[in-house]
Amino acid sequence: MEITQGETLVTEIRQLDKKGSGQAVVWRENVFGNPKKLKLTIPQTLPGEKVRVVADRPEKRRIKAIPEEILEAHPERIAPACPHFDRCGGCVWQHWQYQGQLNQKTAHVKEAIASQGFDPELVRYTIGMDEPWHYRNKMEFTFAPDGSMGLHEQGNFRKIISLETCLIAGTEMVEAAMEVAAWVKEHGLKGYDKDLHEGLFRHLMVRQSFATGEMMLALFATEAPAGDLVQAARDLTDRIEHKFPYVKSLIWLENTQWADRTQAEKTHVLSGRDFIYDEMGGYRYRIWFDTFFQTNPVQAQKLVDLAIEMGQPKKAEKMIDLFCGVGTFSLPFADRVGKLVGIEIVETSIASAKRNAKDNGISNTYFLAKDARKGIDEVLESFGNPDLLLLDPPRSGAGGKVMRKIGRAKPQRIVYVSCNPDTFATDIKELEPFGYQLTAVQPVDLFPHTVHVECCALLVLNDEGQL
C-alpha cells in the first residue's frame, strides 16, 4: 500500500546528513504494486535510533519529518540543556553527548580526505573543549515584525524564535541582548518584515572580547536614529551605559537594502567608539562590526598554535598568508619569519590588518587587497617564491585555479586551515601533481553542538620528507 497523508511510520536512522539530521528510508508499494522509496530527513535523531514519525506530503520522494517518539535511543543520547533546542536553528546536536560529537567530526574529516584518495590515518582525533558552552564571542539576533528578537527557527528563515537565553553565547552578551530586546518592546518599535519590506529593526549583533571584556552592540535599522527615534535612542544609550559599563561600542547602523545581511551604508555611534579591542596570543586587534574574527577565541588560539607548530616558520624565510583577513595568523607568523605578505579581497580587512600590524609594532608585513588568484601573481612577481604559505579560505574553499597557482609557486611547506573538510580535501588533491604530500591533519572543534569542524593540515614537498 502507498503511504498516506498523516500515516504513522516507524523507521531506523541510517546516517546523518551534512546538516546533522538523521536520514532514513521507508519502502512501500505504489498503486501498481512496484516498490516505492520515501527518503526521510529527521532532525534531532542519531544513527541507529528507531523512531516514530508522521508522514507529511508522502507523495514526495523526500520529506522532512519531526520525530514523535524515540523508540530505541542511541546510548549517547542526552537531554538537551537549552529550552529552545526543539525549535531554534542555532544548535543541532545538544541531544548528543559531547564525546559522540567529537567522534562524528573526526569521522567526517577522515571520510572527506579518504574520498580524494588520501590516507584517513593521517587525521588525528578532534581537539574538543573542556567546557563546550558559552564559547561564542559574536552572535547575530534577528527581529520579527512584531519587534520580538531571537534566532531563526530550524529550517525556516521566515520564523523567529524569541529567546530567553542562549547557551553557546557569552553570558554577558545574552544579558545585554535581552536588555535591547526589552527596550524595543517597551518603545513599541517594529522589526523588519522581509515580505512587505517594511519595519525598523533588522538585526542585533553582539560582540565581546573574552580577553579585554569590551563589548559591541550593533543595531541594524532601516533608517537613522532621527526624528521620533531620537528620544528612544537616548533612552537605550542611558540604559546600556548604566547597566553595562563594558559596552565600549553602541552603534546604530543604517541598512536600507532588501538583502537580509548584516551590512550598513552609514554608522551612527550612540556611545563609545565604532570598534572594540580584542586580544589573541598577546596580539591586539581592533574589531569593527564587519570584521571577520574567529568566534571561539579559546579554540582559535589552539588553531593558531597548531599552524605555527606545523609550519615551523624560520627567521630567514619569506611567507604568504592567503585569505589573511585582519591578520589573525599573519601577526604571530610575522614575528617568526623574515617577511610576510598577506592577501585578502576585502579592503576593509586589509586596512584592519595594516592597522593591527602597526598597533603591535610589526614592520615586516605587506598586505595586499586583491582577489586570491590575481594577488598571488602580483606577489610572486615582486616578492619571489615563498618558503612557507598559509591559506585559510572561506567554506567554499580556495578552488582549483588558486591551488594550482600555489603548487606552481613551490613553497616548501603549506599550512591549510579549513572550516570545510569537503572543500579542503578537493583543494589539496590539486597539489599532488606538484609533488606535495599530506603529512598531518588535525581537526579542531570551534563550534560545539553544531556539525561544523575546522582543521589544520600540513603539506610538504616530497623531497622535504615527513615532519
User: Which pLDDT tens digit goes with each residue over 9-52?
Assistant: 899 999 999 999 999 998 877 666 677 788 999 999 999 999 99
d(CA 111, CA 455): 14
Residue 5 has pLDDT above 60, yes or no: yes
The predicted model gives 282-311 an average pLDDT of: 95
Q: What is the DSSP letter of 274?
A: S
What distance in Å separates the CA atoms of residue 322 and residue 344, rounded to the nearest whole number?
A: 7
> What is residue 157's three-state secondary structure?
strand
Q: Show the domains of the chain with their CATH numbers.
A: 8-75 (2.40.50.140), 102-130+296-464 (3.40.50.150), 138-280 (2.40.50.1070)
Q: What is the pLDDT of residues 97-122, one digit of tens each?
A: 999 999 999 999 999 999 999 999 99
Higher pLDDT: 57 or 464? It is 57
Is 88 known to be catalytic? no
Selected residue with higher pLDDT from 260 and 388: 388
* The C-alpha cell that represents 13 in the structure block: 536512522
Residue 51 is predicted with a pLDDT of: 96
pTM comes to 0.91
Give the mean model confidence (pLDDT) for residues 249-259: 89
Average pLDDT over residues 351-355: 95
What's the rounded mean pLDDT across residues 419-440?
Answer: 98
pLDDT band at 1 (very low <50, low <70, confident <90, very high): low
Of 82, 166, 324, 419, the active-site residue reads 419
Report residue 153's pLDDT band, with 50, 70 and 90 as the boundaries: confident
Measured CA to CA in angstroms, residue 198 lies from 192, 205, 375 at distances of 6, 20, 41
Give the 3-state DSSP-derived string for 394-444, with helices as H, strands as E and coil as C.
Answer: CCCCCCHHHHHHHHHHCCCEEEEEECCHHHHHHHHHCCHHHCEEEEEEEEE
Q: Would you tell me the crossing angle of helices 421-429 and 98-114 to the nearest 10 degrees? A: 20
> Shortest CA distance to 412 belongs to which of 314, 278, 284?
314
Q: Is 134 in contact with 167 (CB distance < 8 Å)?
A: yes
Distance from C-alpha of 41 to C-alpha of 457, rounded to nearest angstrom: 32
Q: Which of 6-20, 91-105, 248-262 has the lowest mean pLDDT?
A: 248-262
Q: Please answer whether residues 293 and 287 qualify as being in contact, where contact means their C-beta atoms are separated by less than 8 angstroms.
A: yes
| 319 bridge partner residues | 340, 388
The pLDDT value recorded for residue 464 is 44
Pair 282, 310: CB distance under 8 Å: no
**Confidence at residue 466, expressed as pLDDT on a 0 to 100 scale:** 38
What integer is the mean pLDDT of 91-95?
A: 95
| pLDDT one-digit tens code per residue, 211-222 | 999 999 999 999
- Please state the rounded mean pLDDT for residues 416-432: 98
> Hey, what amino acid is at 311?
G
- Whole-number percent of the chain with pLDDT over 70: 95
pLDDT of residue 2: 63
367-401, pLDDT tens digit by residue?
999 999 999 999 999 999 999 999 999 999 999 99
Predicted confidence at residue 157, as pLDDT, reads 67
Contact 326, 356 (CB under 8 A): yes
SS3 (DSSP) at 334: helix
Average pLDDT, the chain: 93
Contact 378, 368 (CB under 8 A): yes
The Cβ of residue 316 has, within 10 Å, a number of other Cβ atoms equal to: 8
Which residues, at least 6 apart from 160, have a Cβ–Cβ distance to it below 8 Å?
142, 143, 144, 148, 149, 150, 151, 152, 153, 191
Backbone angles phi, psi at 395, to 5 degrees: -60, -30
What average pLDDT does the segment 254-279 reach?
88
| CA gap 178, 87 in Å, rounded | 19
Show the beta-strand stretches assigned E in 317-395. 318-322, 339-344, 365-369, 388-391
- For residue 68, give every residue at least 6 positions away whose Cβ sits within 8 Å of its Cβ, in sequence order, or none: 8, 51, 52, 53, 54
- pLDDT grade, residue 159 (50/70/90)? confident
User: pLDDT tens for residues 311-333?
Assistant: 999 999 999 999 999 999 999 99
